[in-house]
Amino acid sequence: MTQAKTRTALVELSGVSKHYGTVRALEGVSLEVHAGEITCVLGDNGAGKSTLIKIIAGLHQHDGGTLRIEGRATRFASPRDALDQGIATVYQDLAVVPLMPVWRNFFLGSEPRTGVGPFKRLDTALMRRTTREALLRMGIDLRDVDQPIGTLSGGERQCVAIARAVHFGARVLILDEPTAALGVKQSGVVLKYVAAARDEGLGVVLITHNPHHAYLVGDRFVLLRRGAAVGNHTREEITLDQLTGQMAGGADLDALRHELRRD
């Protein structure tokens, strides 16, 4: 038995389900997230990935099954509950203020202050210095933390969001399709910092529809289709070709190939 299987998971879902009226969004989905590992959740649009994120992030509550945080059965009442448990979520449409500098976005909502009483003011020097140091710690060397974050590339903004989560003490980092709108080079940069978060000891949940990106960094793979888990594997149990075949639908792909074949 491997060490990862003997220690308690940071997050564990066992047979979790979620319904919206008569619509089945998730049905009996299980996964584990361990410290220092990346769990990849793969599926096409409508597979249930967004619902899964919302349950772990505290936006929605599950209807069935069990959500455990370090072995304790939990039901989050709000995203604040999840944050208090060290679960940070970086959504695809990053919540940033484009015209504000990088350092201000880095501390947005958590700004330190200096001074006493009515003379309190934002500690801009501390925020600039801390932002620069936190980014460098993750290997991110920006030209200038005073530049508007809107001037950064999509990949750079994703990397800043990852560094922010690490700096503010996240133990579990959920990344919602971080490479979906990026080119090959920028995707590689983002995956590099996803791996850096893993190496910092975080448990990472990487939501993606790209099996090649998942296999580059993943330790565990959960495949969703129409709200149900159709595959749950460790890296040792599956090859990239097998993962791609399951993601593509296997038999469905073979049927399509047959239909498209020329006479």
Q: Tell which CATH classification among 3.40.50.300, 1.10.10.10, 3.40.50.1370, 3.40.50.2000 matches the domain 7-260.
A: 3.40.50.300
Q: What is d(CA 87, CA 80) in angstroms, rounded to the nearest whole number?
A: 9
Q: What's the pLDDT band for 114 if we cut at 50, 70, 90?
A: confident
Place of tokens 């998971």: 9
Q: What is the pLDDT of residue 110?
A: 86
Q: What is the pLDDT of residue 246?
A: 85
What dihedral angle (degrees, nearest 10) is formed by the CA atoms of 83, 85, 86, 92? -40
Give the largest Cα separation in the chain, rounded: 82
Instruction: Using the predicted structure, report yes or no on whether residue 153 has a pLDDT greater than 90.
Output: no
Q: What is the pLDDT of residue 254?
A: 60
Q: What is the pLDDT of residue 94?
A: 76
Query: Which tokens in the block code for residue 57?
Result: 């992030």
Decide if 91 contacts 165 (C-beta within 8 A). Answer: no
Closest among 131, 186, 112, 176 to 155, alpha carbons compared: 186
Instruction: Using the predicted structure, report yes or no on whether residue 24 has a pLDDT greater than 60.
Output: yes
* Sign of the CA dihedral with 211 first, then 214, 216, and 221 last: negative
Tell me, what amino acid is at 124?
A: T
Instruction: Using the predicted structure, report yes or no on whether residue 121 has a pLDDT greater than 70.
Output: yes
Mean pLDDT for all residues in the chain: 88
Instruction: Report the DSSP pairing between strands 64-69 and 72-74.
Output: antiparallel
Instruction: Using the predicted structure, report yes or no on whether residue 165 has a pLDDT greater than 80.
Output: yes
Q: What is d(CA 142, CA 134) in angstroms, rounded to the nearest whole number?
A: 11
Instruction: Using the predicted structure, report yes or no on whether residue 256 has a pLDDT greater than 80.
Output: no
Residue 146 DSSP one-character state: T
Q: Which helix (H) or strand (E) holds 90?
A: strand 87-90
In the chain, where the domains are located: 7-260
Q: What is the pLDDT of residue 142?
A: 84
* Residue 97, helix vs strand vs coil: coil
pLDDT tens-digit series, residues 52-61: 999 999 999 9
pLDDT tens-digit series, residues 4-18: 445 789 999 999 999
Residue 148 DSSP one-character state: B
Decide if 140 contacts 163 (C-beta within 8 A). Answer: yes
Query: Which tokens in the block code for residue 39?
Result: 């769990």
Decide if 188 contacts 6 (C-beta within 8 A). Answer: no
> For the chain, how far is it from start to end, CA to CA, in angstroms?
52
pTM of the model: 0.86
